[in-house]
Structure 1
């Protein structure tokens, strides 16, 4: 059942859009364990003589224990993204006459309720336009991955344009989200050691000893943070760019168009933060063996195209040599992402953690791993031995 606060918000949105005394239908939807912090709803606003208004709502369901471990500002981040940042990005595209087919596409924002314990946001329902989420239990394929990094490249290019054209304004916006990284570091300290034990429990015996030694010396939270600080080109990253936070649909030519959603984890980092995160949360060993280099090349080409659309020279702004150097430096982050993320990404629906109960962040490290986890995790470990990163 939808909270009364959500119904009130939808009524206000209906009035703003000139739907007087409409019929409002609100239905809950399940993400099959892909969403832990919110309840999701589809909404139809109907009025005789007018086209139905199809909406999507996300209502925060985080308990008091977890809230006490998070800065209050986190619940305002997504509103800031839609009201300030994405509007700024649209203005930049218009100013540079970027063709509609080359622009970043995001859901239309309708409104939000910032009141504590009622936090909610209402957007357009992209499913009515044929968009859907990817099955989190299936590894990504080339068509999907290509579409996803094309949208990611546009998102990053707009951040670069913003920082170049309005550096002080950009800096001020970054400062509004700076707390995100500190919060995530705190979360990681709580769960990383447990995650390492989970990883080692499924690691093939031939790799276990060398992996453990590598993790002790190269893949710790401080080392990962140091990588991000050394980036030549820092951008506003999505922060959680994985298939569960993307909507996609097939185009007539067989290509896939991808729309990013769920912007509440945005933070300033290297473009590689999002790219590596996407690859290691969404792909399996077979995909990376066949497409890793092609996908990183495709991302850089799309980033270059997007920068040129914004009248920026990629060879000056972010040369390919700098990108390739950062890619090499960021590879340990892929293993880190897999260690932290794969237990949750592959969790069986019945064992998915909930942020509604009494526990804190430990609910994520206590969740039982799914049947896909050993294969996906060992696939990542195999990559690092094959690439010669772990010897």
Structure 2
């Protein structure tokens, strides 16, 4: 059924793009365990005398049980992002004469099918331009990390510009995609409790007791949910900014380019640090953080400041370095939560990756077998939090 509805959508897109009698080739593609909520396809639309149209489609494949545990309309978020938010961002960049090289790079949107159980979004196929995803089993390196946070800084700066220049419109948009924590609280509590057990099962003995005490007294779910509350300075965050949701390539002159994708988890946060910490703790190992953590944090703020200035905003007024550093101290525990919650899935072996097509609910994420890389990556994060003195 999904393939039939996809082909109909592609036929409509081909017609909109002046293909009269095209040959349409649809091929399924694998993400090797990096994507578990969607079926992915590459599409080629061909017609004699016309340039081929290369497309990429993402079809939601989430079962009824998991859908019942999620708010209605959650699967329509990405369409709203491409049709409304990202177009608004482009308008803001044009209005402020932001140089082309300093603008946020995003894939071209072609269309969607919002019908329940057929939810599909169609974008340009970045793969034919040489873009690929980073190997999720490898730690990010400095060049990749630096470029990734540059893109992230542009994304956040545009959110801030939207908030500052169109406050009522921004407020309405935030309300439309607002995180409904009450609907998730029960499921999240269950998942988090199980994730803590998984974490403690691989924690080095020298840290286990103190980590367990810290998680029981300092990093409970109530504390975590505060990060998603509507704040004084709201920022629209990607929500799942990790290497598997970024596309990158090297150009002919050796320049690295990074494009964020998968905007279905966008949410309002009290600080852009939620995205930055998410990226760091899902994509790096202990060695990288020992060598580059503070440098990457500083690089991000420099890029955010630069992006704000291109949008005619003053960083010292909008989000000063002092406020940013204060937020970093407040939000740093969020990185440990992200590692606890995400690393079992980020490092899962391909054959053990959970599927959202079966009959199970969110418990499929806690029952999945952890990969061989998981103990090393998790203990690396735990070592950081002891070394930084956050856990004593």
The runs of 5 or more residues in structure 2 that have no matched partner are none
Is 1:347–1:368's contact at 8 Å kept on the other side of the alignment? yes
Q: 1:98 to 1:183 in 2, by over 3 A?
A: farther
User: 1:69 and 2:62 equivalent?
Assistant: no
Find the counterpart in structure 2 of residue 194 from structure 1: 194
State the shift of 1:129 in Å.
1.1
Q: 1:195 to 1:306 in 2, by over 3 A?
A: same
Is 2:130–2:249's contact at 8 Å kept on the other side of the alignment? yes
State the shift of 1:180 in Å.
5.1
> What are the superposed Cα offsets for residues 120-151 of structure 1, whole Å, 9 maximum, x if unpaired?
01000001111100111111010110011000
> What are the superposed Cα offsets for residues 33-70 of structure 1, whole Å, 9 maximum, x if unpaired?
00011000000000100000000000010111111111
Is 2:179–2:268's contact at 8 Å kept on the other side of the alignment? no
Find the counterpart in structure 2 of residue 225 from structure 1: 225
Q: 1:83 to 1:230 in 2, by over 3 A?
A: closer
Q: CA RMSD in A?
A: 1.3
Find the counterpart in structure 2 of residue 356 from structure 1: 357
Is 1:181–1:267's contact at 8 Å kept on the other side of the alignment? no
Find the counterpart in structure 1 of residue 330 from structure 2: 329
Q: 1:371 to 1:144 in 2, by over 3 A?
A: same
SS in 2 for 1:179: coil
Is 1:65–1:359's contact at 8 Å kept on the other side of the alignment? yes
State the shift of 1:184 in Å.
4.7
Q: 1:104 to 1:185 in 2, by over 3 A?
A: farther
Find the counterpart in structure 1 of residue 174 from structure 2: 174
TM-score, length of structure 2 as denominator length = 0.97
SS in 2 for 1:72: coil
SS in 2 for 1:3: helix
User: 1:375 and 2:389 equivalent?
Assistant: no
Is 2:70–2:184's contact at 8 Å kept on the other side of the alignment? no
SS in 2 for 1:118: coil
Is 1:107–1:124's contact at 8 Å kept on the other side of the alignment? yes
State the shift of 1:227 in Å.
4.4
Q: 1:204 to 1:230 in 2, by over 3 A?
A: farther
Q: C-alpha distance in 2, partners of 1:188/1:176?
A: 22
Q: C-alpha distance in 2, partners of 1:125/1:152?
A: 21
Is 1:147–1:255's contact at 8 Å kept on the other side of the alignment? no
Q: C-alpha distance in 2, partners of 1:15/1:180?
A: 38
Find the counterpart in structure 2 of residue 263 from structure 1: 263
* Structure 1 segment 216-295 matched on structure 2, within 5 A: 216-229=216-229, 233-269=233-269, 270-295=271-296
Find the counterpart in structure 1 of residue 347 from structure 2: 346
Q: C-alpha distance in 2, partners of 1:353/1:93?
A: 39
Find the counterpart in structure 1 of residue 207 from structure 2: 207
State the shift of 1:229 in Å.
4.2
The runs of 5 or more residues in structure 1 that have no matched partner are none
> What are the superposed Cα offsets for residues 79-129 of structure 1, whole Å, 9 maximum, x if unpaired?
000000000000000000001000001110000001111110100000111
User: 1:43 and 2:43 equivalent?
Assistant: yes
TM-score, length of structure 1 as denominator length = 0.98
> What are the superposed Cα offsets for residues 335-384 of structure 1, whole Å, 9 maximum, x if unpaired?
00000000000000010000000000000010000000000000000000
Q: C-alpha distance in 1, partners of 2:338/2:180?
A: 17
> What are the superposed Cα offsets for residues 153-196 of structure 1, whole Å, 9 maximum, x if unpaired?
00000000000001000000000111355555443212011100
State the shift of 1:252 in Å.
4.3
User: 1:298 and 2:299 equivalent?
Assistant: yes
Q: C-alpha distance in 2, partners of 1:288/1:36?
A: 28
Q: 1:375 to 1:360 in 2, by over 3 A?
A: same
SS in 1 for 2:339: helix
**Number of matched residues?**
391
* Structure 1 segment 303-318 matched on structure 2, within 5 A: 303-318=304-319
Q: C-alpha distance in 2, partners of 1:182/1:144?
A: 37
Q: C-alpha distance in 1, partners of 2:171/2:73?
A: 18
User: 1:7 and 2:7 equivalent?
Assistant: yes
Q: C-alpha distance in 2, partners of 1:157/1:47?
A: 41
Q: 1:326 to 1:232 in 2, by over 3 A?
A: farther
Q: C-alpha distance in 1, partners of 2:116/2:390?
A: 46
Is 1:231–1:326's contact at 8 Å kept on the other side of the alignment? no
Structure 1 runs (4+) greater than 6 angstroms displaced: none
Q: C-alpha distance in 1, partners of 2:109/2:286?
A: 37
SS in 2 for 1:135: coil
Q: C-alpha distance in 2, partners of 1:51/1:180?
A: 45
